[in-house]
Every structure is written in C-alpha cells, then in structure tokens.
A and B are shown apart, each in its own frame.
Chain A
C-alpha cells in the first residue's frame, strides 16, 4: 500500500506543523531541571531526544504541551508562541504517548478513544465511534474495540494509546519512551506504528532509548544532559561522530 492510499484510507492525512522551544527554563523547587533548552523540529520531521536518566527529557516534552509551565522561555507551534493560548486547546493540537500507556482501564478501547472526540471535538457518538475504528484499524486493533485495555498486551495497549492520541487529529506528536515498558518482542510493532506515522508526515518529538529507531526514522537527534541540549544534528553525525565527551560516554553505555 502506498503512503497516499494509506492516508486516504485512514481518512486522516496528517499535516504536521513545526514545533520549537526557545531558551526554556524550569525548576522544581531548587532543582533546576531545564536550563535553557532550544529545539527546532521542522514540520513533518521527526526529532529524537536521547540522554541519561534525569536529564530532563520527560520534563521537556511536558513543557511542549504545557502539562508543565516553563519558568521562562517560549514554546512555538507553527512559528507562533503558544504560551498565551488556552492550554486545554493547545493540548488538542499536541498528542502525547506515555511510557506506561495510561489508557483508561474502566473504559473499553473504543470508549478510550471516543471520550475526547465526543466531549472535546463535539462529534456525535456514531461519528466518534467511526473515527475510533478508523484509527484502531490503522494500528491493527479494530477487532479489539470492545475489550478493556487490561485484556490487551502491553504492545497492543500502546498502539491503542497512539490511536487515541491520533484520533484527536493533532498537529504534533510527543512520545515519552513509548516502548520502554514493553517486553522486547512487543517493541517492534509499536516502533513500526511510529515509523508509519513519521512517514505520513506527522511532526514528532520522540524521547527514546531505541537508537535503531532514532537512526532510521529521525531527521534529527538531540542529546540532552543536565537540562541542556548538549549536542544535536543528523543521526549519522550524532551517532558516528559525537563531538562531546559526554555524548561519547553516553553512547558507549547504551550501544
């Protein structure tokens, strides 16, 4: 199936917009977690964020969709600052996928997806259900629409979580270690879904430990340490020719 027919079939031609941050600072109490982060993810491209635990990767993602408010700096979507926008509306434009899926366990897979569609997008029940099925089909799980998330494997749950985010038709997708909680044999399916999405033109900011994914899918890799982007560039350059000693040390540990 070509990308075009696929996009038509899913009914959701993804049209990402660029996302950027400018000199973002954020502290939790005395813990200065983000120390001036600049990033630029052009529309329809994928950037992977790598870095040691505690370097501020998750915090950075949460600033981008304003689950956390930065102390200073700016967040830009499509070249425009979003810090003055209604954060709830902004979050509809920025989808997010979490390490632990965070599906709603008391609702069926379908209801997980339709909740936002009916309540926030104003779709009727039938329209929402139809759209939910389209997005479930896209991740290969339409046949699981009426089961509860607890009856799915981790990999399936994460694909449902991706479908839930995509059903809101976001312009940017954030992934926070989407495969870190999965058994090794389930990682592949989720990465494949993410790669598909990237190839369809979604703008993606992906925190990951999957260096293979970063290498083959991302146009840009950012290495974070101690709340700063220490090194950024094309995957080839970052992985083959790391300039800083910190990145060299990090790569020797994870590769």
Chain B
C-alpha cells in the first residue's frame, strides 16, 4: 500500500503541480504556443511553395523542392534543430541577441514544411486533371487555374492530415530545449522537466503533459470533425446525381425534334 502511495505521489502530487502551475501558465504555455503557431504558419507557407514547385513543369523548380523535402523529412528533428539552432546562432546573435526562438522556429518550420509540402502535393495531385483542363478551356492560364480551381480543392481534401501535422509540431516544439533556454524562454516541457529534476518528483512533468493534451486532444477532434464533414459532403455529391426527379426538370425548349436512336 505504501509503495502504491509513493508511486501515486511521484506522478500526481498536487502540491508539486500547484507549485509549477504559475510558471506553466505564465511562461510555458505562451512559449509553447508561440513556437507551435509561428512554425505552423511558416511551415504551411513554405509547404505550399514546396508543393507547387514539386508539381511544376520546370525541372529546375522540381528538383530543389524534392531535395529540400528529402533532407528535412529524412533528418531526425533533433539533428535539424541543433544544426540550425546552434550552427546559425552566431549569425542570429548579431540580429536578435541571445534568443534561441527565431532559429528554433526556423528549424521547426523547415521540418514542418517538408511534411506539409508532401501533404499539399498529394492533395493537389488527387484533383482530377479535368479540373485544370476546364479552367484553361475557359481562358485561365495554368498558374491561375491551379490557384483558383485545383489548389483549393486539393487543400480541402488534406485538411485532416494538415491538422495532424500541426499536432506533431506542437509536440516537436519541446525539442527547442536543446538550444538552451533562459528562465523566461522555457516552454511547457522544460518547466515540467526542471521542476521534476529539482524535486525528484515527476508531477510537474505530468502537469506539462496535461497541458499538451489540453491542446492536442481538441485538435484531434477537429480532425475527426473535418474528416466526417468531407466524407458526408462527398456522399451527398455522389448520391444526389441522377435522382429520379432530375430528368423532369424544366428542360430547355427546342425547335428541333431530335430522334435519339435512329435506325
């Protein structure tokens, strides 16, 4: 019984949690959100550029996009973050001082862009080629047709995968602790980990975990909701076609009698 109590206290010591809570709310949560939000934004923009370049007819646009994707998707996130965050730090020091965030966000964005680019590319590629053809037949250039007709449809189809990528990004943002954070720069994970290291009690880390869940679980529900809506939308699209009433619609008048099946 004692042992069980000890285990319980190790993870769920309310006092330890209460002690860590102010820092979590004031410092950790905003920092984690800043990291995740900015890298999601930049990653999405870069991802779209990558997807469009990757699908370009021009080889000199295609292969750099390919290379970029392979590199940042293939490297462990920790390696990318360290290489960029530490490697470019001297450069950053002159620009924004000893703040690891810009480079951390840059590294996270590069990683995210590789995945998001692939998500966008698969979505855009899944759009029927007849859509671009129809847009061009109306007089749109290929780029305009892509922008106005193809890409909006492609993006819609991959929204669930995109949100999943955001979830991954929120979790990955904890890796910036590699870059060495001042007290005010610590994110959720780092605050939990510091408290756990100082006290030998894991409860603060559990609290950090709860904060992550508080952000990510609702997002997974967003994914499911989008998924459901897309699925239902698609079903409605398919089912409505050729319903009985359709043929009796006010059809246009015609001056010409047309024999449908001549012999």
Query: Which A residues form the contact surface with B (CB < 8 A)?
Result: 1, 3, 65, 67, 88-89, 91-92, 95-96, 98, 100, 102-106, 115-116, 119-120, 138-141, 148, 150-157, 159, 161, 164-165, 168, 183-189, 191-193, 195-196, 199, 210-213, 215-217, 255
Stretch at the interface among B5-13, B106-114, B255-263: B255-263
Are A186 and B257 closer than 8 Å at their CB atoms? Answer: no
Give the docked Cα–Cα distance between A213 and B254 (Å): 13
> In the complex, which range does the number of interface residues on chain B fall in?
35 or more
The distance from the CB of A239 to the nearest CB of chain B, in whole angstroms, is 9
Closest 5 CB pairs of A and B: A150-B237, A153-B246, A102-B134, A92-B139, A192-B254
**Residue among A95, A152, A188 making CB contact with B258, cutoff 8 Å:** A188
Q: A91-B136, A150-B238 are in contact. Are A102 and B130 (CB under 8 A)?
A: yes
Task: Kindly identify which residue among A91, A104, A192 contacts B251, using a CB–CB cutoff of 8 Å.
Answer: A192
Tell yes or no: B241 within 8 A of A by CB: yes
CB < 8 Å neighbour of B240 from A152, A159, A193, A195? A152
Which residue of chain A lies nearest to B253 when distances are taken between CB atoms in the complex?
Answer: A1
| Cross-chain contact B247 with A155 (CB below 8 angstroms) | yes
Q: Does B249 contact A (CB under 8 A)?
A: yes
Task: Compute how far the CA of A215 lies from the CA of B240 in the bound complex, rounded to whole angstroms.
Answer: 33
Cβ-based interface call for B18 (8 A): no
CB atoms of B138 and A92 under 8 A apart: yes
The reply on B1 being an interface residue by CB < 8 A is no
Query: Out of B241, B257, B261, which one reaches A153, CB within 8 Å?
Result: B241
Contacts of B260 in A (CB 8 A): 184, 187-188, 191, 210, 212
Shortest C-beta distance, B259 to chain A (Å), equals: 4
For B241, list chain A residues within 8 Å (CB). Answer: 150, 152-154, 157
Whether B38 is near chain A, meaning CB under 8 Å from some CB there, is no
Q: How far is the CB of A235 from chain B (nearest CB, A)?
A: 10
B152 beta carbon closer than 8 Å to chain A: yes
Residue ranges of B at the interface with A (Cβ–Cβ < 8 Å): 128, 130-131, 133-141, 144, 148-149, 152-153, 156, 233, 236-238, 240-243, 246-247, 249-263
* A contact residues around B141 at 8 Å (CB): 88
Is A196 in contact with B252, judged by CB distance below 8 angstroms? Answer: yes
Given A151-B236, A152-B240, A186 and B247 contact (CB-CB distance below 8 Å): yes
Complex Cα gap A125–B260 (Å): 39
| Secondary structure call for the A interface | helix
Can you give 12 contacting A-B residue pairs, CB < 8 Å? A3-B255, A89-B139, A96-B137, A100-B128, A104-B134, A105-B153, A153-B246, A188-B258, A195-B256, A199-B255, A199-B256, A210-B260
- What residues of chain B lie closer than 8 Å to A191, measured between beta carbons? 258, 260
A155 with B138: CB separation less than 8 A: no
Q: A212–B252 contact, CB under 8 A?
A: no
Closest chain-B Cβ to A118's Cβ sits at a distance in Å of 11
Known contacts A89-B139, A98-B130, A106-B153: does B254 contact A217 (CB below 8 Å)? no
Q: Kindly state the separation between the CA atoms of A186 and B136 in the bound complex, as whole angstroms.
A: 27
Nearest-Cβ distance from residue B257 to partner chain A, whole angstroms = 7
Contacts of A104 in B (CB 8 A): 131, 134-135, 149, 153
Known: A102-B131, A105-B153, A199-B256. A67 touches B137 (CB 8 A): yes
Contact A212 B259 (CB under 8 A): yes
Q: Which residues of A contact B137 (CB under 8 A)?
A: 65, 67, 91, 95-96, 98, 165
CA distance A155 to B249 in the complex (A): 10
Given A150-B240, A155-B247, 14 additional A-B pairs, CB 8 A: A89-B139, A98-B130, A102-B134, A104-B131, A119-B140, A141-B249, A152-B241, A154-B242, A155-B246, A185-B247, A191-B258, A192-B251, A211-B262, A216-B258
The answer to whether residues A189 and B252 also contact, given A92-B138, A152-B241 and a CB cut-off of 8 A, is yes
Contacts of A119 in B (CB 8 A): 140, 144, 148
